[in-house]
Amino acid sequence: MSAVYAKQMGIPIRKLICASNHNHIVVDVTTEEYDLRNRLLVASDSPAMDILKSSHLERFLFDTLNGDGRLVRDLFFKVPGTLLERIQHNVLVGWCFNAECLVAIHDVHLSIGYILDMHTAVTKVVSDRLHGQTCPVVISSTVHHGKFAPAVLQALQLQGSAGTPLDQPVSVH
């Protein structure tokens, strides 16, 4: 939401990019349907994105609707045409698979030495796909890569210390 507010304050942002993993709940709202009744949740290496109801999306819709929460309160709804047009005018959306995130983590680390977290990797993959290289893209990373150690180590083709499972604490002296 900070990018939405920055754009409203006049920062020259052409489009916002909203990225999701393979559960693609945030993508569905731009296709007119936001129906959660029969959705299946598929686990990934980015568990905070493994959701069926997005509070970030709901805050965005609430703001886009000028504070009208009636539509947002429902678990499913058809996005009205005028709201859909406003969303599509300001936001590009996309989703990617877990494997694509692992490749992005690996490639970014090889290229510039930075270790992406899984959430930022989702954004990187989707933004690379959507923005068309026509302008600079700013990606705000808000999670430390250590939160996703098993996936990040897999992406970087590294392993934990011999005999120490990655999900167990390691004593440092």
Q: Which tokens in the block code for residue 128?
A: 């690379």
- Which pLDDT belongs to residue 134? 77
Handedness of CA 10, 12, 15, 17 (dihedral sign): negative
pLDDT exceeds cutoff 70 at 172: no
For 93-132, the pLDDT digits (tens) are: 899 999 999 999 999 999 999 999 999 999 999 999 987 7
Q: What are the residue ranges spanned by the domains of the chain?
A: 2-155
Residue 84 to residue 73: CA distance in whole angstroms: 17
Q: Which tokens in the block code for residue 145?
A: 């890569």
For 4-37, the pLDDT digits (tens) are: 899 999 999 988 888 888 888 778 777 766 777 7
- 0.75 surpassed by pTM: yes
Is the CB of residue 77 less than 8 Å from the CB of residue 71? yes
CATH topology of domain 2-155: Rossmann fold (3.40.50)
For 29-87, the pLDDT digits (tens) are: 777 667 777 778 888 887 777 777 777 878 888 888 888 887 777 656 677 788 888 88
Is the CB of residue 119 less than 8 Å from the CB of residue 142? yes
pLDDT exceeds cutoff 80 at 165: no
How many degrees, rounded to 5, is the angle at CA 58 between CA 32 and CA 142? Answer: 115
Question: First-to-last CA distance in the chain?
Answer: 42
